[in-house]
Amino acid sequence: MSEEEEDVKSEVAPEAEEEDESNSTTKPPPQSEPVPADDDSANKAVKTVAEEEADEDAGETPAPAESSQAELEAVAIAKATASADASYVPSPSLLQSPSPHPLIAQVDGPSLETYAGTESVYMARAVPVPLRGKLDVPIHISTGGSVVEYTIETADYDISFGITAEREEGITIVKENGRVESHTHPISGKFLVGSVPCALVFSFDNEYSWFREKQVTYKIVVMPPTVENICAGRRRRARSALKTVTEDKMSAETRLSRAVAQRTGLAAEISRMEKELAEKKKSLDVVAKEEGWLKNRVELRLTQENILNGRLTKGWPDEEDYNGEKEEENENTN
d(CA 216, CA 329): 144
Closest CA to 128 of 163, 164, 156, 165: 156
Q: With respect to residue 137, please indicate whether it lies within any of the assigned structural domains.
A: yes
Q: Is 165 within a domain?
A: yes
The contacts of residue 218 (CB under 8 Å, 6+ apart) are: 122, 123, 124, 127, 137, 150, 151, 152, 153, 202, 204
The β-bridge partners of 167 are 170
Note whether residue 251 is domain-resident: no
Instruction: Name the nearest CA neighbour of 29 among 144, 123, 151.
Output: 123
For the chain, what is the domain count? 1
Q: Please say whether the beta carbons of 240 and 87 come within 8 A.
A: yes
In a domain? residue 25: no
Q: Quick check: 29 and 140 in contact, CB under 8 A?
A: yes
* 143: Cβ contacts below 8 Å, ≥ 6 apart: 109, 110, 196, 224, 225, 230
Task: For residue 171, give the 3-state DSSP assignment.
Answer: strand
Q: Are 213 and 40 in contact (CB under 8 A)?
A: no
Separation CA 146–CA 7 (nearest Å): 44
Q: Residue-wise pLDDT tens for the chain (334 aa)? A: 555 443 333 333 333 333 333 333 333 343 333 333 334 443 444 445 444 444 444 444 445 566 787 778 778 777 777 787 777 888 888 889 999 999 999 899 889 999 988 999 999 999 999 999 999 999 999 888 899 999 999 999 999 999 999 988 889 999 999 999 999 999 999 999 988 889 999 999 999 999 999 999 999 999 999 898 889 888 988 999 999 999 999 999 999 999 999 999 999 999 999 999 999 999 999 999 999 999 999 999 999 999 999 989 988 888 877 776 777 777 777 6
Residue 135: closest CA among 67, 62, 211, 216: 216
Q: Is 163 exposed, middle or buried (0-12, 13-18, 19+ CB in 10 A)?
A: buried
Would you say residue 33 lies in a domain? no
Look up the CATH number of the domain holding residue 166.
2.60.120.680
Domain that holds residue 147: 120-223
Q: Report how far residue 325's alpha carbon sits from residue 322's, in angstroms, rounded to the nearest whole number.
A: 5
Q: How far is CA 296 from CA 261, 267, 272, 288, 300, in A?
A: 52, 43, 36, 13, 6
Please indicate, yes or no, if residue 211 is contained in any of the structural domains. Answer: yes
Is 190 within a domain?
A: yes
Q: What is the pLDDT of residue 34?
A: 36
| Angle (CA) 292 293 297, round 5° | 120
Asked if 127 contacts 216 with a C-beta cutoff of 8 angstroms, the reply is yes
Domain membership of residue 160 (yes or no) is yes
